[in-house]
Chains A and B, each alone.
Chain A
Amino acid sequence: MRRLLLGSILGVFLTLGVAPGLGFADQPVDEYRVKAAFLYNFARFTRWEATSKNREMTPLVIGVLGDNPFRGSLRRLEAKTIRNRPIKVRFFDNLHVAHECDLLFVSASEEKNLSFVLDLFDKQPTLLVSDIPDFAEEGGHIGLVSRGNKIRFRVNMRSLKDARITLSSKLLRLAEKVEGL
């Protein structure tokens, strides 16, 4: 039914002489599809201190705290593995369970609770990533920032050290480093 509706709308527009553009080299991409790919790369280039929970074969859990801005693009990561660990994507609205993540994306919807989240994860071995403004400066691990219409990331070395998380030099080379809490 929906397809039929779309089809007929398309038909109308086509008869009006407006054909959808074709050829997609370098077209803009939805920001959260790109950010999902960033998260995947962060997970690939991060070493967590060895604990029982990050052994081979146990799932590497990527979590989203709050509203899910990725739509379905993050879920598609579950087809992949990182260092023989299958990826599991989970969505949380409860911090208690969010602690099970290896990487936690703090959604912009949680900006209001940011200091609380950061307090709670202080020195915990969970890599915290967010696009909330000044996330890395405020004590988060990796902050995604926009430059023009491209994405950059900033890391807070001190909080990473506190959390005993090591980022590979490949990642650090591309990062902007910030002083921070």
Chain B
Amino acid sequence: MDECLLTLQMKLIFDKLAYLNFSFIAPKKQMISSLRQGVFAMEVSVTCIRTGMASAILISALLGALSPTVADPASPDLFNLTLEQLMDIRVTSVSKTEQEVHRAAAAVFVLTREDIRRSGATSLPELLRRVPGVHVARIDSNKWSVSVRGFSGMFSNKLLVLIDGRTVYNPFFGGVFWQAQDIVLEDIERIEVIRGPGAALWGANAVNGVINVITRSAKETQGGLVSAGAGTFDQGIGVARYGWSPTEETAIRVYGKGTRRAELERPDGTDAEDDWISLLAGFRLDTEDVWGGNLSVQGEIKDADAGSIRPIIEGTPPAQTDQVTQSDILNGHLLARWSDNTTQIQLYYDRLSYDEPKFAVLSYDTIDLDLQHKFSLGERHFFLVGGGYRFIHDHTEETETIEVTDEVRTTHQFNLFLQDTITLAPDRWQLILGTKVEDSNQSDVAWQPSVRVLYTPNPDHTLWGAVSRAVRLPTRAETDLSFNATVRNIGIPLLIKSAGNNAVESEKLLAYEAGYRWKVTPDVALDLAAFYHRYSDLISGETGSPVMMGGYAISITAFANGIKGRIYGFEGVLNWKPTARLRLEATYAFMETDMKSTEAGQTGEANYDGTSPRHQFGFRSLWNLTDTVELDTFLHFTDEIHFRSGSVSTCWNLDLRLGWRPREGLELSAIGQNLLHSQQQEFDVIRYPDYPAEIPRGIFGKVTWEF
């Protein structure tokens, strides 16, 4: 957990007695008067404690400073116990994260390690179903649409996903190759999800939300872990990890994971050919006291082989045949992060190569350097400044599906950001002003400012509001690639192609948000957020008139900034711990999409209208039946979603997990997946004709042993 604290190191000028009259714990008021009297010189610096500062600027950056005091819950008497007995009691603690989330000036939701373990989920996207306002639809065994506040799609491109500070957004199509992002779920410390724009801090593509996955420090994963699972659909998942400390300051873990998933069926009963194998191996090293700070080095290499059925277009005149293709995705990265009390420097190299003959053969190398620094100015201003440089070298080959003008493209991106957290009234009002400015050789300068206000009348209530601007940069697919999408028969073959357009501009969002959090009692918490998002220059595919080519026709769908519109809605989370053994959570998200073409006659809006559900409901319970037996449920509802090709009907579903921990370190669990339907389609085709599969009911069993 990263906690940023303001350190006030005061230097005594006069005598010690002067200090005694000086309240530094609540420094704001008295410090000012003391300073006026010239009693002190003050050195103000900012301290970030704990290692693993990956998210130092994440939730904490959206925080106000508060000192919570909460009313007493009734409690049995522990004072009669002896010290020996006390030392034997197992304790639970309210995490810093919980406190931070309560005070954040944004719509934040956190999945903790406990949530992850007890979800029974076997992949990152499946975990994200549990987050309110996130729409997760499984397209087939190895593809997902994950989106926040609208714009669902396999390449839902308005969401930024980070794993330990490293972006996994793909610059070709936008979105994330989820099949290449397998991860050791046991090593995740938490997943922070911010709904709404986070661009002022995280930059381009953090338009509708940011998902930030933070893995545990190597110090937290000492010893061994072996986990093996098998099921009807997740056929086999094996994890092995070992962590040790070569010196007192240093901890290392090495790990590996293998996953095999079965192929599913298409709605017409045929095989989807979408089976999926993923292997990964990696390490993480954390060490203290390196140049006065902490150093974290991590690296990973992954290999995913995933099948698909693609409509491959070949020949002249063009003819489309559905062919089974196999994609081989290799992804590796090496990341180093150094941080001390005030500063963080992060450098990483990431390479992804995607090889699916006849469909897409491409790769990209990314080098990213990121700097952050925090400091206070006076008593009221807390600054976070930073800058970064990202180098992307990408390469794509011509295939039956993709035509390219430039096989290679090099992108240089620069960014600077500044955020000032201004304390208007100590412990009550805060104003957070921030902006990020980005420039690159592929796009124009983008300013992404935000204004946030945080009001905390007392520790139990938090009110916040925000106005922010965010942009999404056009992807390569939208600027300079052409796709053979499909061939229709209109008497003669009609080839429908999409063509990139170098003139497309960034998509823009202006977002108005407000939220309210209420700790009703120590055990009941309510979190509400409402949003009104105004989009302009959304990129659409505008279908042109067919052109005769001799024996066949071509219709080109060109990308243009052809849509504007708005999405508004709200999300709510109600948490309740009726007893120490039971935790309940109900979530609800509502949104309305209203898109229109910027010019008459354009056709693009159908791309966006309706692909995200209007209503989503989730209910989770984590229940300790006994000290060793856990029963966990997740019931969720997704409203109907609409596509050009038809619609996917409303869907209720249920996941169950029964866990048994017969002894320390050993856990057995049985998981029921999608229990309410034998199989159900969750998504459909948007732009590219991918074939959705039906997601089946599944049973999964797992044994985890930690030693």
| Contact yes or no, B71 A41, CB < 8 A | no
Given the contacts A13-B584, A24-B581, A31-B92, A95 and B23 also touching, CB distance less than 8 Å: yes
B522: nearest chain-A partner, CB-CB: A71
Task: Give the residues in chain B near A6, CB-CB below 8 Å.
Answer: 521, 524
Given the contacts A20-B578, A96-B21, A111 and B71 also touching, CB distance less than 8 Å: no
Shortest beta-carbon distance, A55 to chain B, in Å? 24
| Contact yes or no, A170 B91, CB < 8 A | no
The docked-state distance in angstroms from the alpha carbon of A94 to that of B23 is 5
| Contact yes or no, B91 A29, CB < 8 A | yes
Q: Which residues 61-116 in B have Cβ within 8 Å of A in the complex?
A: 67-73, 75, 77-79, 81-84, 86-94
Which chain B residues have a beta carbon within 8 Å of chain A's beta carbons?
5-10, 16, 19-26, 47, 49, 67-73, 75, 77-79, 81-84, 86-94, 520-522, 524, 574, 576, 578-582, 584, 619, 621, 623-627, 633
Pairs of residues from A and B, 4 with the lowest C-beta to C-beta distance, nearest first = A72-B72, A21-B581, A31-B91, A93-B25
Q: Which residues 73-96 in A have Cβ within 8 Å of B in the complex?
A: 73, 75-77, 80, 92-96
Give the interface size bracket for A toward B.
35 or more
Task: Give the residues in chain A near B576, CB-CB below 8 Å.
Answer: 9, 13
A36 at interface by CB-CB < 8 Å: yes
A118 at interface by CB-CB < 8 Å: no
A18 at interface by CB-CB < 8 Å: yes
Given the contacts A36-B78, A67-B67, A95-B20, A150 and B87 also touching, CB distance less than 8 Å: yes
Instruction: Provide 11 A-B residue pairs closer than 8 Å at the C-beta atoms, listed in order of the A residue.
Output: A2-B521, A21-B582, A24-B580, A28-B92, A31-B91, A33-B78, A96-B20, A112-B6, A112-B7, A112-B47, A149-B92
Task: Give the residues in chain B near A23, CB-CB below 8 Å.
Answer: 626
State which of A34, A71, A76 has its C-beta within 8 Å of the C-beta of B91: A34
Shortest beta-carbon distance, B516 to chain A, in Å? 16
| Contact yes or no, A170 B79, CB < 8 A | no
B584: nearest chain-A partner, CB-CB: A13
| Contact yes or no, B581 A113, CB < 8 A | no
Task: Give the residues in chain B near A57, CB-CB below 8 Å.
Answer: none
| Contact yes or no, A28 B584, CB < 8 A | no
| Contact yes or no, A93 B26, CB < 8 A | yes
Q: Which residues 11-29 in A have Cβ within 8 Å of B in the complex?
A: 13, 16, 18, 20-21, 23-29
| Contact yes or no, B83 A20, CB < 8 A | no
Given the contacts A5-B520, A109-B67, A66 and B25 also touching, CB distance less than 8 Å: yes
The docked-state distance in angstroms from the alpha carbon of A27 to that of B77 is 14
Task: Give the residues in chain A near B72, CB-CB below 8 Å.
Answer: 71-73, 75-76
The docked-state distance in angstroms from the alpha carbon of A76 to that of B621 is 32
State which of B20, B73, B581 has its C-beta within 8 Å of the C-beta of A71: B73
Task: Give the residues in chain B near A92, CB-CB below 8 Å.
Answer: 25
The docked-state distance in angstroms from the alpha carbon of A122 to that of B195 is 48
Shortest beta-carbon distance, A69 to chain B, in Å? 8
| Contact yes or no, A31 B93, CB < 8 A | yes
B21: nearest chain-A partner, CB-CB: A96
Interface centre among B69, B521, B576 (most CB of A within 10 A): B69
State which of A20, A34, A45, A96 has its C-beta within 8 Å of the C-beta of B581: A20
| Contact yes or no, B24 A95, CB < 8 A | yes
The docked-state distance in angstroms from the alpha carbon of A21 to that of B9 is 48
| Contact yes or no, B25 A41, CB < 8 A | no
B47: nearest chain-A partner, CB-CB: A112
The docked-state distance in angstroms from the alpha carbon of A131 to that of B119 is 31
| Contact yes or no, A30 B16, CB < 8 A | no
The docked-state distance in angstroms from the alpha carbon of A41 to that of B78 is 11
Shortest beta-carbon distance, A148 to chain B, in Å? 8
| Contact yes or no, A152 B87, CB < 8 A | yes
A48 at interface by CB-CB < 8 Å: no
Shortest beta-carbon distance, A180 to chain B, in Å? 16
State which of A20, A30, A72, A110 has its C-beta within 8 Å of the C-beta of B25: A110
| Contact yes or no, A171 B23, CB < 8 A | no
The docked-state distance in angstroms from the alpha carbon of A13 to that of B523 is 15
Given the contacts A2-B520, A38-B86, A120-B16, A71 and B70 also touching, CB distance less than 8 Å: yes
Task: Give the residues in chain B near A5, CB-CB below 8 Å.
Answer: 520
| Contact yes or no, A76 B79, CB < 8 A | yes
| Contact yes or no, A25 B627, CB < 8 A | yes
Shortest beta-carbon distance, B629 to chain A, in Å? 10
Task: Give the residues in chain B near A96, CB-CB below 8 Å.
Answer: 20-23
The docked-state distance in angstroms from the alpha carbon of A76 to that of B9 is 35
The docked-state distance in angstroms from the alpha carbon of A36 to that of B473 is 54
The docked-state distance in angstroms from the alpha carbon of A115 to that of B81 is 33
Interface centre among A33, A120, A133 (most CB of B within 10 A): A33
Task: Give the residues in chain A near B81, CB-CB below 8 Å.
Answer: 37
Shortest beta-carbon distance, A77 to chain B, in Å? 7
State which of A2, A37, A99 has its C-beta within 8 Å of the C-beta of B79: A37
The docked-state distance in angstroms from the alpha carbon of A72 to that of B89 is 19
The docked-state distance in angstroms from the alpha carbon of A41 to that of B86 is 10
Task: Give the residues in chain B near A26, CB-CB below 8 Å.
Answer: 90, 627
Task: Give the residues in chain B near A31, CB-CB below 8 Å.
Answer: 91-93
The docked-state distance in angstroms from the alpha carbon of A27 to that of B5 is 33
Task: Give the residues in chain B near A110, CB-CB below 8 Å.
Answer: 25
Task: Give the residues in chain A near B69, CB-CB below 8 Å.
Answer: 67-68, 71
A174 at interface by CB-CB < 8 Å: yes
| Contact yes or no, A94 B25, CB < 8 A | yes
Task: Give the residues in chain A near B16, CB-CB below 8 Å.
Answer: 120
The docked-state distance in angstroms from the alpha carbon of A75 to that of B77 is 12
A128 at interface by CB-CB < 8 Å: no
Task: Give the residues in chain A near B73, CB-CB below 8 Å.
Answer: 71-72
The docked-state distance in angstroms from the alpha carbon of A123 to that of B79 is 29
Task: Give the residues in chain A near B584, CB-CB below 8 Å.
Answer: 13, 18
Known: A76-B72, A113-B24; 8 extra A-B contacts, CB below 8 A, are A5-B520, A13-B621, A30-B93, A31-B92, A65-B25, A99-B20, A115-B9, A174-B84
Task: Give the residues in chain A near B79, CB-CB below 8 Å.
Answer: 36-37, 40, 76-77, 80
A3: nearest chain-B partner, CB-CB: B521
| Contact yes or no, B619 A16, CB < 8 A | yes
State which of A20, A32, A34, A116 has its C-beta within 8 Å of the C-beta of B582: A20
The docked-state distance in angstroms from the alpha carbon of A99 to that of B576 is 40
| Contact yes or no, A21 B24, CB < 8 A | no
Task: Give the residues in chain B near A95, CB-CB below 8 Å.
Answer: 19-20, 22-25
A115: nearest chain-B partner, CB-CB: B9
The docked-state distance in angstroms from the alpha carbon of A169 to that of B203 is 59
B523: nearest chain-A partner, CB-CB: A6
A131: nearest chain-B partner, CB-CB: B93
The docked-state distance in angstroms from the alpha carbon of A24 to that of B92 is 14
State which of B7, B10, B83 has its C-beta within 8 Å of the C-beta of A174: B83
The docked-state distance in angstroms from the alpha carbon of A16 to that of B520 is 22
The docked-state distance in angstroms from the alpha carbon of A2 to that of B87 is 36
State which of A9, A28, A113 has its C-beta within 8 Å of the C-beta of B580: A28
The docked-state distance in angstroms from the alpha carbon of A71 to that of B7 is 25
| Contact yes or no, A18 B83, CB < 8 A | no
Task: Give the residues in chain B near A73, CB-CB below 8 Å.
Answer: 72, 75, 78
A10 at interface by CB-CB < 8 Å: yes
A51-75 to B contact mask, C-beta < 8 Å, 1/0 = 0000000000000011110011101
Task: Give the residues in chain A near B75, CB-CB below 8 Å.
Answer: 30, 33, 72-73, 76
Task: Give the residues in chain B near A9, CB-CB below 8 Å.
Answer: 524, 574, 576
Shortest beta-carbon distance, B251 to chain A, in Å? 15
The docked-state distance in angstroms from the alpha carbon of A76 to that of B79 is 9
| Contact yes or no, B89 A29, CB < 8 A | yes
| Contact yes or no, B621 A18, CB < 8 A | yes
B582: nearest chain-A partner, CB-CB: A20
State which of B10, B89, B90, B580 has its C-beta within 8 Å of the C-beta of A116: B10
A152: nearest chain-B partner, CB-CB: B87
A151 at interface by CB-CB < 8 Å: yes
Shortest beta-carbon distance, B256 to chain A, in Å? 26
The docked-state distance in angstroms from the alpha carbon of A150 to that of B98 is 20
A69: nearest chain-B partner, CB-CB: B94
B81: nearest chain-A partner, CB-CB: A37
| Contact yes or no, B579 A18, CB < 8 A | no
| Contact yes or no, A149 B90, CB < 8 A | yes
Task: Give the residues in chain B near A152, CB-CB below 8 Å.
Answer: 87
